[in-house]
Amino acid sequence: MGTESPTPEKKPSPALIKFGAEMRRMREAAGLTQTAVARRLGCTQTQVSRLEQGKRMPSRSNAEKLDELYGLTERKYFVNQYRRILAYPAAQAWYLDWVDDIEPVALVLRTWDPVLVPGLLQTEAYAREIFRQEPRITPEEVEDRVQARLQRQKIFARKNPASLLAMLDEQVLRRQVGDRRVMRGQFEHLLAVSHCSTISIQIVDARCLVGALGTFIIAELPDGEPDTILADSAAEGQVSSDPEVVSAIWGRYDAIRLWAYPEHVSRKMIEAARRRCI
The DSSP secondary structure of 203-248, one letter per residue, reads EE-TT--TTTT-EEEEEE-STTPPPEEEEE-SS-EEEE--HHHHHH
Name every residue whose Cβ is closer than 8 Å to that of residue 139 and which is 6 or more positions away in sequence: none
Kind and range of the H or E run holding 166: strand 163-169
pLDDT on residue 173: 97
pLDDT on residue 93: 59
Burial class (CB in 10 A: 0-12, 13-18, 19+), 210: middle
pLDDT on residue 5: 47
Q: How far is CA 169 from CA 47, 143, 204, 212, 263, in A?
A: 48, 27, 5, 9, 14
pLDDT on residue 18: 86
191 in Cβ contact with 123 (< 8 Å): no
pLDDT tens digits for 205-216?
A: 999 999 988 999
Cα(38)–Cα(27) distance, integer angstroms: 11
pLDDT on residue 8: 42
Closest of 93, 142, 70, 98 to residue 240, by C-alpha: 98
CA geometry: angle 254, 260, 262, nearest 5 deg: 120
Cα(235)–Cα(218) distance, integer angstroms: 20
Name every residue whose Cβ is closer than 8 Å to that of residue 51 and which is 6 or more positions away in sequence: 4, 19, 20, 23, 58, 62
pLDDT on residue 17: 86
181 in Cβ contact with 121 (< 8 Å): no
- Helix 139-152 with 77-87: angle, nearest 10 deg: 110
pLDDT on residue 84: 78
Cα(151)–Cα(49) distance, integer angstroms: 28
Positions of the chain with pLDDT lower than 70, given as ranges: 1-12, 88-94, 233-236
Cα(54)–Cα(276) distance, integer angstroms: 49
